[in-house]
């Protein structure tokens, strides 16, 4: 049955786009994670929908991955199919002041394309290390900007295999959430609306934000970005720092000394190291401040 399943996947996307026992540490920004049973890289909507249909037919679990920038995969890996919507599905089309973007496009590439066409409004996302698909699901944001500010509509695939086009209001975009996340839809495309601007001003703003990131974030270490969601009325990083956890470590995982809101892979960290550290940070912050931190990083697979 396993070989038949593999053959069906290969028939959809091609043998060269189906890996077996693929180490997930190669595909996450944490550089952590055991092997996935199957790693599949489709090229278009039809292939994505067909791979999911075959997964359902064979009863195989699946998980949609972009750039792996907000994910911690367990040391024992993932029993099922990783469906990577990334480089093979990342076209960008500029239509006036709007951009039609496939889900696998990197936010940095979208921002660069907007800059080249003199379009302003996407500068905030230039340094976020993720794809458009993931950004839409979680309403990604930084430096005062969010996807909901620019997103006109998104094309999604439902769990039942139906393709829907949802408008901005229908997406129910909130702080790190959306109807897509709640209903487990899969983002296929997004339509982004921007405004005309001067290339020099847009470039200057992007460079300004880049300098802030370099100065304040531990970009020199593997991480999943900001580890915790922002609690109401305060900042996770400050709570962690005030709890005396700057530089706190478990194995190879460490609370960044540069920015306490980041958990970093300080050298050969395991997924269990990271998970234990996150749980300990939550425990100590709650004990000291009676605030419960909620992880922004998603956990996947077997630990």
- 297 vs 29, 224, 231, 301, CA distance in Å? 11, 7, 15, 13
Which sequence positions are flagged as catalytic?
176, 226, 296
Indicate the pLDDT class of residue 138, thresholds 50, 70 and 90: very high
Whose tokens are 């540490």? That residue is 25
Cβ count within 10 A of residue 2: 11
Instruction: Give the separation between CA 238 and CA 21, rounded to whole angstroms.
Output: 40
pLDDT number for residue 160? 83
How confident is the model over 253-284, as pLDDT tens digits? 999 999 999 999 999 999 999 999 999 999 99
154 is written with which tokens? Answer: 């998104």
- Express as a percent the part of the chain with pLDDT over 90: 97
- What confidence tens digit (pLDDT) does each residue in 26-45 have? 999 999 999 999 999 999 99
- % residues pLDDT > 70 (the chain): 100
Confidence of residue 161 (pLDDT cuts 50, 70, 90): confident
Q: Give the separation between CA 303 and CA 301, rounded to whole angstroms.
A: 7
Residue of 103, 79, 82, 83 lying closest to 91 (CA atoms): 103
Do the Cβ atoms of 21 and 164 come closer than 8 Å?
no
Q: For residue range 43-65, what is the model confidence (pLDDT) as tens digits?
A: 999 999 999 999 999 999 999 99
DSSP alpha helix (H) spans, the chain: 2-13, 45-58, 107-116, 132-138, 179-183, 199-216, 236-242, 271-289
pLDDT digits (tens, 9 = 90+) for 171-229: 999 999 999 999 999 999 999 999 999 999 999 999 999 999 999 999 999 999 999 99
Domains of the chain, start order: 2-87 (3.30.43.10), 90-202 (3.30.465.10), 218-300 (3.90.78.10)
Q: DSSP letters of 228-261?
A: BPPPTTS-HHHHHHHTT-TT-EETTEEE-SS-TT
Q: φ, ψ for residue 104 (rounded to 5)?
A: -85, 0
pLDDT for the residue 159: 83
Cβ-in-10-Å burial (0-12, 13-18, 19+) of 195 comes to exposed
């Amino acid at each position: 049955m396993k070989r038949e399943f593999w053959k069906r996947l290969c028939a959809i996307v091609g043998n060269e786009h189906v890996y077996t026992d693929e180490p997930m540490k190669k595909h996450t920004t944490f550089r952590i994670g055991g092997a996935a049973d199957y790693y599949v890289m489709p090229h278009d909507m039809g292939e994505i929908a067909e791979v999911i249909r075959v997964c359902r037919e064979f009863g195989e679990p699946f998980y949609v991955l972009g750039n792996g920038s907000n994910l911690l995969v367990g040391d024992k890996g993932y029993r099922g199919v990783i469906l990577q919507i990334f480089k093979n599905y990342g076209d960008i089309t500029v239509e006036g002041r709007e951009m039609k973007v496939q889900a696998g496009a990197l936010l940095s590439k979208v921002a660069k394309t907007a800059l080249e066409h003199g379009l302003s409004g996407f500068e905030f996302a230039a340094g976020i290390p993720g794809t458009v698909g993931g950004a839409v699901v979680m309403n990604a944001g930084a430096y005062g900007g969010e996807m909901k500010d620019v997103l006109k509509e998104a094309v999604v695939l439902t769990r039942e295999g139906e393709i829907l086009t949802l408008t901005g209001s229908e997406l129910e975009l909130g702080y790190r959430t959306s109807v897509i996340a709640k209903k487990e839809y899969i983002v296929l495309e997004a339509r982004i609306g921007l405004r005309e601007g001067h290339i020099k001003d847009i470039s200057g703003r992007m460079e300004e934000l880049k300098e802030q990131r370099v100065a304040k974030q531990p970009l020199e270490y593997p991480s999943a970005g900001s580890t915790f969601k922002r609690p109401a009325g305060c900042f996770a990083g400050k709570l962690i720092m005030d709890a005396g956890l700057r530089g706190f470590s478990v194995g190879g995982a460490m609370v960044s000394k540069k920015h306490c809101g980041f958990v970093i892979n300080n050298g050969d960290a395991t997924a269990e190291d990271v998970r234990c550290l996150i749980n300990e940070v939550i425990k100590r912050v709650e004990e000291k401040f009676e605030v419960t931190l909620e992880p922004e990083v998603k956990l996947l697979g077997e630990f």
